[in-house]
């Protein structure tokens, strides 16, 4: 339930960061100036006793986030893939959040399985192991199907996770409301809409039937992708709180030493991760939106295997074209084209100066392209773009939040595999291929064909639809005409009543 009582959650967040020592770690990671360090110390130290202690055996940042709950853990997972933003030490601490959290008991997991399938565990699985991985929302068990003997992975939601996550999200809603109230300028960024979007995504992750459907759709889209695969869903053994998939062996993508020992080319893996993401986003409009190292493995044959399909991103075809044109414009350093795309899509208000906006975009792009390949960063580009678009009144596009966030995460994964990777050189052929397929005479002819198909489906109803539209328009015009004719009489009657009332008051006084 949203309300002022969630203020306690926000206060406890700051106190927990101070009490666990995470505040200092964060300030060190961002190389905070002395004045900011002193302000944080003065504000946090007196209230640290209100904070949660967490597990003292964990590093400070991990200790604080795990104590605070699932939503904070998700945030930490994202940061763990960006050592260029938070530093190597903090990124290493946060990586523990991906798949090595404290598990719940196998007895609780079996009880959940039995409740969901309405069958004893022994009648479904001949083997059911202790947890092999534990994340913020669920954990995974290795099992074997009774019926076929196939080895499978069984994902089980944490007990009480729905309520725990609701508390975190409610506090985030309050924080967004406070920000919007105290800083009217922030309303342009629509903090409440951003939280609502995040809320919707995670609510989908709390229903494993939806995740199973997402995995099935994703598998259909990517069957032809070389060097990529994912486990198949076992529908009869899945439900709202459990999901069963085929078991696939692989080396964790975050274990560089193990990848090297297995003979995998990390440079190729880094480029492939980025290429796959861009293909899924642009070609299919449906992509894995939680592609951190904990959800990716490398099979013995070199295929990248994806897991955990609770957070999937979807963007419509028009938005994909806009996004591709913006990327392509930056790659070609055609800043006027990028500016025009922003205006045509309505991302920037029409009353702004397109030439000035193009010059501002050049100020964003040129410094990045002048950098060494190891320093070129889409994350940095997005940060610079934020500053520029704020100046030109661009509102936050909630439909692109997940895409932008995932791009930053994927870049972090690619960089961890191959620090020398040139992000733009990898992205160029994917974006150019999409542009060729979707922007040009062939694409125009294909769009006309799709339009004809829609018209053909509605063909028999078109005369009726047109007639209804015309009748509604004529009725609206007639209603407006009658109102206009009645308006003088209404004023005349109102004036007469008002005059009589004034005369009555005057006579009473006299």
Q: What is the pLDDT of residue 366?
A: 84
Q: Residue 505 — pLDDT band, cuts 50, 70, 90? A: very low
Q: What is the percent of the chain where pLDDT is above 70?
A: 74
- Answer yes or no: is 51 within a domain: yes
Q: What angle do CA 337, 389, 322 make, to 5 degrees?
A: 40
Q: Are residues 399 and 274 in the same domain?
A: yes
Mean pLDDT of 77-97: 66
Q: Where in the sequence numbering do the catalytic residues fall?
A: 290
Task: Choose the most confident range, by mean pLDDT, from 65-69, 169-173, 242-246, 449-453.
Answer: 242-246
Mean pLDDT of 258-270: 94
Task: Choose the most confident range, by mean pLDDT, from 63-77, 265-279, 378-392, 442-456.
Answer: 265-279
Q: Are residues 289 and 423 in the same domain?
A: yes
Q: What is the percent of the chain where pLDDT is above 90?
A: 29
pLDDT of 492 above 50: no
Domain boundary among 42, 71, 97: 97
Mean pLDDT of 119-147: 93
Mean pLDDT of 322-345: 86
Using the CB atoms, write b or e for 297-316: b if 16+ within 10 Å: bbbeeebbbbbbbbbbbbbe
Antiparallel, parallel or unpaired: β 228-229 and 304-306: parallel
Domain boundary among 47, 63, 97: 97
Q: Residue 3 — pLDDT band, cuts 50, 70, 90? A: low
Q: What is the pLDDT of residue 26?
A: 72
- Answer yes or no: is 197 within a domain: no
Mean pLDDT of 178-204: 70
- Answer yes or no: is 68 within a domain: yes
pLDDT of 256 above 60: yes
Q: Residue 115 — pLDDT band, cuts 50, 70, 90? A: very high
Q: Are residues 423 and 468 in the same domain?
A: no
Q: What is the pLDDT of residue 120?
A: 94
**Structure tokens belonging to residue 312:** 């999937």
Say how many Å lie between the first and final Cα of the chain, rounded.
61
Q: Is the pLDDT higher at 366 or at 244?
A: 244
Q: What is the pLDDT of residue 32?
A: 61
- Answer yes or no: is 67 within a domain: yes
Task: Note whether 171 and 9 are within 8 A (CB).
Answer: yes
Q: Are residues 329 and 409 in the same domain?
A: yes
Q: Say whether 150 sits in a helix, a strand or coil.
A: coil
Q: What's the 3-state SS for 28-48?
A: HHCCCCHHHHHHHHHHHHHHH
pTM beyond 0.95: no
- Answer yes or no: is 186 within a domain: no
Q: Are residues 434 and 501 in the same domain?
A: no
- Contacts of 131 by beta carbon, 8 Å cutoff, 6+ apart: 103, 104, 106, 109, 139, 140, 141
Q: What is the pLDDT of residue 117?
A: 94
pLDDT of 491 above 50: no
Mean pLDDT of 395-401: 64
Q: What is the pLDDT of residue 503?
A: 45
Q: Are residues 483 and 345 in the same domain?
A: no
**Structure tokens belonging to residue 30:** 């961002």
Q: Are residues 493 and 385 in the same domain?
A: no
For 500, the domain range is 461-505
Q: Are residues 435 and 465 in the same domain?
A: no
- Answer yes or no: is 92 within a domain: yes
Q: Are residues 271 and 416 in the same domain?
A: yes
Q: What's the 3-state SS for 232-290?
A: CECHHHCCCCEEEEECCCCEECCCHHHHHHCCCCHHHHHHHHHHHHHHHHHHHCEEECC
Q: What is the DSSP string of 379-406?
A: HHHHHHHHHHHHHTTPPP-HHHHHHHHH
What length is written for the chain? 510
- Write out pLDDT tens, residues 341-350: 988 888 888 8
- For the ranges 117-131, 256-270, 454-468, the lowest mean pLDDT is seen at 454-468
Mean pLDDT of 313-342: 86
Domain boundary among 404, 439, 474: 439
- Answer yes or no: is 147 within a domain: no
Q: What is the pLDDT of residue 237?
A: 95
Q: Are residues 401 and 289 in the same domain?
A: yes
Q: Based on the structure, what is the number of domains in the chain?
A: 3
Q: Are residues 491 and 424 in the same domain?
A: no
pLDDT of 181 above 80: no
- Write out pLDDT tens, residues 48-78: 778 888 888 888 888 888 888 777 887 776 6
Q: What is the pLDDT of residue 99?
A: 54
Mean pLDDT of 375-393: 70
- Answer yes or no: is 107 within a domain: no
Q: Are residues 409 and 498 in the same domain?
A: no
Q: Residue 136 — pLDDT band, cuts 50, 70, 90? A: confident
Q: What is the pLDDT of residue 213?
A: 95
Q: Is the pLDDT higher at 215 or at 432?
A: 215
Mean pLDDT of 120-140: 91
CA distances from 328 to 5, 430, 453 (A): 47, 10, 30
pLDDT of 8 above 80: no
Task: Choose the most confident range, by mean pLDDT, from 58-67, 294-303, 459-468.
Answer: 294-303
pLDDT of 458 above 70: no
């Amino acid at each position: 339930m949203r309300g002022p009582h969630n203020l306690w959650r926000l206060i406890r967040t700051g106190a927990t960061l101070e009490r666990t020592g995470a505040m200092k770690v964060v300030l060190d990671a961002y190389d905070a100036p002395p004045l900011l360090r002193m302000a944080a110390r003065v504000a946090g130290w007196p209230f640290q006793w209100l904070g949660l202690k967490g597990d003292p055996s964990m590093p400070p940042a991990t200790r604080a986030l795990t104590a605070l709950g699932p939503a904070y853990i998700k945030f930490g997972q994202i940061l763990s893939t960006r050592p260029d933003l938070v530093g190597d030490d903090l990124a290493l601490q946060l990586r523990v959040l991906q798949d090595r959290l404290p598990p719940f008991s196998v007895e609780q997991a079996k009880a959940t399985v039995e409740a969901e399938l309405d069958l004893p565990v022994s009648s479904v699985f001949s083997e059911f192991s202790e947890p092999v991985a534990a994340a913020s929302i669920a954990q995974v068990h290795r099992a074997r199907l009774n019926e076929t003997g196939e080895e499978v992975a069984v994902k089980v939601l944490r007990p009480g996770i729905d309520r725990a996550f609701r508390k975190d999200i409610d506090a985030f809603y309050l924080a967004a409301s406070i920000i919007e109230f105290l800083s009217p300028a922030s309303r342009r960024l629509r903090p409440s809409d951003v939280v609502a979007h995040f809320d919707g995504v995670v609510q989908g992750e709390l229903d494993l039937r939806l995740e199973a459907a997402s995995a099935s759709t994703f598998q259909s889209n990517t069957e032809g992708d070389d060097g990529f695969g994912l486990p198949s869903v076992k529908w009869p053994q899945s439900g709202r709180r459990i999901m069963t998939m085929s078991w696939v062996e692989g080396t964790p993508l975050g274990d560089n030493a193990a990848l090297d020992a297995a003979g995998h080319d990390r440079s190729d893996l880094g480029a492939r991760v980025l290429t796959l993401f861009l293909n899924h986003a642009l070609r299919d409009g449906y992509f894995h939106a939680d592609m951190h190292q904990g959800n990716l493995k490398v099979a013995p044959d070199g295929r990248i295997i994806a897991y955990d399909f609770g957070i999937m991103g979807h963007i419509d075809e028009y938005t994909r074209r806009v996004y591709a044109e913006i990327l392509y414009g930056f790659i070609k350093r055609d800043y006027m084209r990028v500016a025009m795309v922003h205006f045509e899509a309505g991302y920037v208000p029409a009353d702004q100066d397109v030439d000035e906006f193009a010059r501002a975009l050049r100020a964003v792009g040129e410094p990045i392209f002048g950098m060494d390949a190891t320093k070129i960063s889409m994350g940095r580009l997005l940060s610079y773009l934020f500053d520029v678009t704020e100046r030109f009144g661009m509102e936050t596009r909630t439909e692109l939040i997940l895409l932008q966030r995932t791009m930053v995460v994927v870049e972090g994964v690619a960089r961890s595999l191959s620090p020398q990777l040139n992000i733009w050189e990898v992205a160029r052929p994917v974006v150019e291929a999409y542009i060729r397929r979707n922007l040009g005479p062939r694409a125009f002819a294909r769009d006309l064909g799709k339009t004809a198909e829609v018209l053909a489906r509605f063909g028999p109803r078109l005369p009726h639809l047109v007639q209804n539209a015309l009748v509604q328009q004529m009725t609206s015009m007639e209603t407006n005409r009658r109102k206009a004719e009645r308006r003088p009489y209404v004023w005349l009657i109102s004036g007469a009543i008002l005059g009589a009332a004034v005369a009555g008051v005057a006579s009473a006084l006299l």
